[in-house]
Amino acid sequence: AQSVTQLGSHVSVSEGALVLLRCNYSSSVPPYLFWYVQYPNQGLQLLLKYTSAATLVKGINGFEAEFKKSETSFHLTKPSAHMSDAAEYFCAVSESFGNEKLTFGTGTRLTIIP
Amino acid sequence: DTAVSQTPKYLVTQMGNDKSIKCEQNLGHDTMYWYKQDSKKFLKIMFSYNNKELIINETVPNRFSPKSPDKAHLNLHINSLELGDSAVYFCASSQVRTGRIEAFFGQGTRLTVV
């Protein structure tokens, strides 16, 4: 069975500071991993995905994530936070091709301090 | 030119009523999903359909019945609504056949049962 753990339900960073949102996964087969962002009263937007190609994945809005198999992690980072990054972020896992069900973490609310 | 569209966006109804939520995708995807997001923002899959065939049916009460008239549409009908059904329901789609398994989400339908 697949599962995702997001450490820290709330993260606050100053504008211009590094953003680090943590995600650890559990999967019995090589996983596909995703980060989604949800702005208030909106749907989920894909930030980036890992599908067994390069371990460092670049996404939209300056975000990137690194797949570390030894640590079963897929942390999301951005070098410099912007006010518009304030949102809810979800990490999700899918157990590779053929099982398209996304299992989500509990989400991390990112607050940007001016 | 919305990719995944749901109607209605808001739905307020009384306990015991029957209601439907409609979803349409214009991305040409072969798989569609319903996810439920509870008051704590936790997202969980309910159903998935691939080319009108039910693929995933998580532990969901029989009062919830999905219907896919064609691969571009997936509707959700809920009978005998209960207070606990209050949540945001998201429709999503993906193109599994070509391996592009990232899901594209609609804007959500906020269901409030009173």
Cβ atoms of residues A57 and A74 within 8 Å? no
pLDDT for A29: 78
pLDDT for B1: 64
- SS3 label, residue B114: coil
Cβ atoms of residues A6 and A23 within 8 Å? yes
| Average pLDDT for chain B | 92
pLDDT for A99: 53
Q: In terms of C-beta density within 10 A (0-12 exposed, 13-18 middle, 19 or more buried), how is residue A32 classed? A: buried
Tell me which chain A residues have a C-beta less than 8 angstroms from the C-beta of B56.
100-101
pLDDT for A96: 56
pLDDT band at B52 (very low <50, low <70, confident <90, very high): confident
Q: Is the pLDDT of residue B2 over 90?
A: no
CA distance B32 to B20: 16
pLDDT band at B99 (very low <50, low <70, confident <90, very high): low
B54 touches chain A (CB under 8 A): no
pLDDT for A97: 57
CA distance B56 to B31: 11
Cβ-nearest to B101 among A45, A90, A97: A97
| Distance to chain A for B93, nearest Cα, Å | 10
Cβ-nearest to B45 among A45, A88, A101: A101
Burial A65-74, CB ≥16 within 10 A → b, else e: bebeeeeebb
B109 touches chain A (CB under 8 A): no
Taking only residues 78 to 107 of chain A, the set having a beta carbon closer than 8 angstroms to any beta carbon of chain B reads 88, 90, 94, 97, 100-104, 106-107
Closest CA to B33 of A84, A99, A39: A99
CA distance B55 to A5: 26
Per the CB < 8 Å rule, is A100 touching B107? no
CA distance A102 to B56: 11
pLDDT for B8: 97
Q: For each of chain A's 114 residues, which pLDDT tens digit applies? A: 789 999 999 999 999 999 999 999 998 777 889 999 999 888 999 999 998 778 999 999 999 999 999 999 999 999 999 999 999 999 999 875 555 788 999 999 999 999
Closest CA to A67 of A57, A58, A55: A55
pLDDT for A75: 98
